[in-house]
Structure 1
Amino acid sequence: MTPSSQARALMIQGTASDVGKSLICTALCRMFANKGVRVAPFKSQNMALNSYVTQDGGEIGRAQGVQAEACRVVATTDMNPILLKPKQDMVAEIIVHGRRHADLDAKEYRETYVKEALPIAHEALLRLQNEYDLLILEGAGSPAEVNLRDRDIANMRMAHLADASVILVADIERGGVFASIIGTLELLPEDERQRIKGFIINKFRGRRDLLDDGVQWLEERTGIPVLAVLPYMNVDIEAEDSLALSALRLKRPRQGEFAIDIAVIRLPRISNFTDFDPLFDEPDAGVRYVSNARELGQPDLIIIPGTKNTVEDYLWLQQTGLDQAILCHHEKGKRVIGICGGYQMLGTHLYDPHAVEGTGGEYAGLGLLPVETVFNPTKRTVQIAGRLYQPSFLTPADQDFEAPTPTESTLTGYEIHLGVSTLDRTQAKPFVLLEDGREDGAISADGRVLGTYLHGIFHNRHLTRQLTNQIRVEKGLQPLSDEVVPESVRREEAYNMLARHVEEHLDMDKLYQILGMPTASAVINR
């Protein structure tokens, strides 16, 4: 048993991936934080396309960074000590306590490194248990993968180490919700099954009373209570993996449906696609993810996102014909933005002398920016702030583009990349003057092409509104008001709304009973 001096622990596991574990953990983090509990998130091992950079430059899963924000605490690498970032088929970059460790294939990781990873994760868990009153642990995938059980360090093994009660989450939207719950229980050994203290049925749509018979049957068959049936909620909180891309905002806008048409290239190894969430909030703007030249059409703006493998995804652009489609788009006077790996692709050359991106070699880029990139094994991960140069990407094409000077507006973002890019300043201008004295990015002489390493650039809502307004003016449309809700305010509202939604439908008395306390104050005052 966990000593009384250590934090209580509650673990959210799922019957499958993308059933809503991360959002429920986020809701619980904010709910308990609002009650004055010193609460923190933990996920021992995470596989994610989207990552989060801590204040000290560590890289963790985006979900744990978001959950730390919901807890109103500073995110640390203890909250996600092992991060796996898919890089190639069956190969992932292994991040250990926020730092790049190695690229390993699935077999090598499971047969060799998992044994090293487990004590690293356990030590991180112990530090958090000694620092906080309550930990909200998140599982990964399903705990019932029988072929992976002996190497699974993200589910029941962590529940045992934390002495955590487990709540099992199932997604009713997939169908077969009762079968998925019963099947998961049946595949667990008895000691693990005993840890499951409650169920949550998530993403429910329709009449609640039509589900009552099934809930009653489930509780009678298992002896485990259903703590909540959560109605579907489209909350504005960042997603983490590629499954979320498939149903992003529940709609795929058609060309011509919105006044502004934005096409994001859906690279096979796309990463940090949460960069583009704010674009969905812009009035009259439609965001489409496209995978081939036929789908591209005639957008007002093309965005090439970040990627876990710039070279491989650039070769894919060539194979699909999207490279030529992007060049034709630019020749017609339209705008192109590249973020991180997308920025590297916009340059003239890509050099991979250390075979960081694969087999090594030299590649000619799209040539839309006078930038050369050299890949090296040293990864840069840092939160950054800076000032936009003016004239800039927001400057009308017919305005003088000489002698850029920093504006007073501060931009924030974060860097996660291996390459070092060099700009020929005789042919293009930098994008941002950073607080540490460096310059970031490049803007073409015609002001139509922008490349930057700044992830989260569109979360600077004023800049995003300026960009869409500039496109509106160029199309003969009236600009919108410059008044926007700051990103920090939006996030706080989203966390609180999610917490209220979950608490409204959650049996709090049973939850407190599971945690072994009459109320939240029992955690604070123990």
Structure 2
Amino acid sequence: MFQGTGSDVGKSLIVAGLCRLYARRGLRVRPFKPQNMSNNAAATADGGEIGRAQALQARAAGVPLSVHMNPVLLKPQSEIGSQVVVQGRIVGNARARDYQAMKPQLMPAVLDSFARLSEDADLVLVEGAGSPAEVNLRAGDIANMGFARATDTPVVLIGDIDRGGVIASIVGTKAVMAEDDAALVAGYLVNRFRGDISLFDAGLAEITRHTGWRSFGVVPYLPDAGRLPAEDGLGLRSRYDAGGEEERKRIVVPVLPRIANFDDLDPLRQEAGVEVILVEAGRPLPPADLVLLPGSKATIPDLVALKAEGWDIDIRAHARRGGKVLGLCGGYQMLGRMLRDPERIESDVDAIDGLGLLDIETTMTGDKRLRPVSGVSLPDGTPFSGYEMHVGTTVGPDRRRPFARLADGNDEGAISPAGNIVGSYCHGLFSDDRQRARLLAWIGADPSALAYEAEIERVLDGLADHLAAHLDVDGLLDLSRGRG
């Protein structure tokens, strides 16, 4: 099990790289994260959902997605509360304090999923959440040492030297842990080192002197790792910037408080002909070749936030000038005339006016659609594959001009009469090189020769090679065999 001295220290990518490395050795590898908090989720073939980080790890291991890879998924809907998904299914909503009381009740599902994965695996690589140093949350813990103790799983602690203070963060984690928890920690590794690794030899010795833990290595910073999808929004703003290159086409994305499935943007940011500009609260939307409204975990509250920023005025003005607008999932719903939530599924608002750019209306319903999809965009027949992940049913005249026809024969999405406003429930469209080229041509950008899916495979292979060169990967494997 890989735990961290904090969030965003690289746990997800370390596990993904090791999934690829050990799978290439012929082992049956499965990723597992007992509890995840993220609005960046992936749909499984059986109609469930898991964190997108585990989806990337499963891809690295070369295995299909399973709800058991992430049995507890928390999807934040407010500053203090989240939707709770257990083994792929929504079980309700919980405020942060209430969830602490709920956690012990979820451990049986976590252990059940772990057992199911283990039956079909030679090696299960487990990712913790946050940090075991959060001892105020230790009671009833299912994400870190609570899980490790319940399953007698050896732990390796990851520290991030790039953020500074890595010696103190690793030694401090040991200092605050209970002795029985610390006894399960077999060692540590240091991530994102820049420069001459030998200069940190004394640092490693100091960590080992204070903790008694073994070093499994130091991982140098790998720029290519930033080309892989991020687990959550912590690094979102640092992953995109304006760039300032006038000749590039601008895709402007308002950053909504509950932005979800933002990895839809990843393929676009790798295109040389465009710059993806994420606009944070407090700033107007700049001139754009395309305004892209992303997915949202809570569409109505995010629409309220969008209007509070005055972005609705910017978007309508852009559209009046003939500017292009694309709404994905929650963003698609916002483009309509009205959003209704009679059952108060997402908020305490019964109904709210949308942006009025598409002649459609959406009603939130209790059923959530979670499924992989494929089809062709209309009218040109360009193929795509992706997934749907949403609540709500959308109807209206502009649905007679669908964005796509799915493989099951149903039409999907809507297009305005002038053709400059498009909405779709499909996520993952732009991972398909043909569909991404279609979008770029629509906004007047030249598509590159980027083969996105092949690029992800290349980076995963490179990450595995990188870890093999700098970590004691045989020693890590021995831990799982009880020989460490």
For the superposition of Structure 1 and Structure 2, which TM-score range results when normalised by the shorter chain? over 0.9
User: Does structure 2 conserve the Cα–Cα contact (< 8 Å) formed by 1:86 and 1:308?
Assistant: yes
Over residues 275-311 of structure 1, what are the superposed CA-to-partner deviations in whole Å (9 max), with x where a residue is unaligned? 1000111112111110247442101111111111111
Over residues 338-393 of structure 1, what are the superposed CA-to-partner deviations in whole Å (9 max), with x where a residue is unaligned? 110000000011111101121131211111111110001111111101111115xx
Q: Matches of 1:357 and 1:51 in 2, distance apart?
A: 18
Correspondence 1:323-362 to 2 at 5 A = 323-362=312-351
User: Does structure 2 conserve the Cα–Cα contact (< 8 Å) formed by 1:387 and 1:411?
Assistant: yes
**Is 1:443 equivalent to 2:415 in the alignment?**
yes
Residue 209 of structure 1: how far off its partner (Å): 2.3
Correspondence 1:87-98 to 2 at 5 A = 87-98=77-88
Counterpart of 1:58 in structure 2: which amino acid?
Answer: G
Please point out which of 26, 50, 53 is paired with 1:63. 53
Q: Matched residue of 1:95: which SS?
A: strand
Please point out which of 231, 245, 252 is paired with 1:263. 252
- Runs of 4+ off more than 6 Å: none
Q: Matched residue of 2:103: which SS?
A: helix
Structure 1 residues 156, 480: closer, same or farther in 2, change over 3 A? closer
Please point out which of 413, 416, 429 is paired with 2:386. 413
User: Does structure 1 conserve the Cα–Cα contact (< 8 Å) formed by 2:284 and 2:311?
Assistant: no
The equivalent residue for 1:163 is: 152
The equivalent residue for 1:246 is: 237
Structure 1 residues 72, 254: closer, same or farther in 2, change over 3 A? closer
Q: Matches of 1:108 and 1:223 in 2, distance apart?
A: 37
Percent same amino acid at aligned positions?
Answer: 41
Counterpart of 2:20 in structure 1: which amino acid?
Answer: R
Q: Which runs of 5+ in 1 are unaligned?
A: 1-10, 392-406, 474-478, 520-526
User: Does structure 1 conserve the Cα–Cα contact (< 8 Å) formed by 2:383 and 2:435?
Assistant: no
**Is 1:52 equivalent to 2:52 in the alignment?**
no
Structure 1 residues 155, 293: closer, same or farther in 2, change over 3 A? closer
Q: Matched residue of 2:272: which SS?
A: coil
Q: Matched residue of 2:435: which SS?
A: helix
Residue 469 of structure 1: how far off its partner (Å): 2.9
Q: Matches of 2:281 and 2:244 in 1, distance apart?
A: 15
The equivalent residue for 1:397 is: none
Q: Matched residue of 1:124: which SS?
A: helix
**Is 1:84 equivalent to 2:74 in the alignment?**
yes
Correspondence 1:297-336 to 2 at 5 A = 297-336=286-325
The equivalent residue for 2:24 is: 34
The equivalent residue for 1:495 is: 460
Please point out which of 422, 430, 449 is paired with 1:458. 430
- Could you state the TM-score of these two structures normalised by the residue count of structure 2? 0.96
Q: Please identify the structure whose Cα radius of gyration is greater.
A: 1
Structure 1 residues 150, 387: closer, same or farther in 2, change over 3 A? same
Residue 330 of structure 1: how far off its partner (Å): 0.9
Q: Matches of 2:109 and 2:65 in 1, distance apart?
A: 17
The equivalent residue for 1:515 is: 480
Structure 1 residues 70, 287: closer, same or farther in 2, change over 3 A? same
User: Does structure 1 conserve the Cα–Cα contact (< 8 Å) formed by 2:129 and 2:144?
Assistant: yes
User: Does structure 1 conserve the Cα–Cα contact (< 8 Å) formed by 2:140 and 2:146?
Assistant: no
Q: Matches of 2:114 and 2:285 in 1, distance apart?
A: 46
**Is 1:122 equivalent to 2:87 in the alignment?**
no
Counterpart of 1:24 in structure 2: which amino acid?
Answer: I
Counterpart of 1:296 in structure 2: which amino acid?
Answer: L
Residue 255 of structure 1: how far off its partner (Å): 4.5
Q: Matches of 2:474 and 2:384 in 1, distance apart?
A: 44
Counterpart of 2:89 in structure 1: which amino acid?
Answer: R
Structure 1 residues 137, 292: closer, same or farther in 2, change over 3 A? closer
Q: Matches of 1:339 and 1:315 in 2, distance apart?
A: 17
Q: Which runs of 5+ in 2 are unaligned?
A: none
User: Does structure 2 conserve the Cα–Cα contact (< 8 Å) formed by 1:428 and 1:444?
Assistant: no
Correspondence 1:184-203 to 2 at 5 A = 184-203=173-192
Structure 1 residues 104, 208: closer, same or farther in 2, change over 3 A? same
The equivalent residue for 2:164 is: 175
CA RMSD of aligned residues (A): 1.8
Counterpart of 1:153 in structure 2: which amino acid?
Answer: I
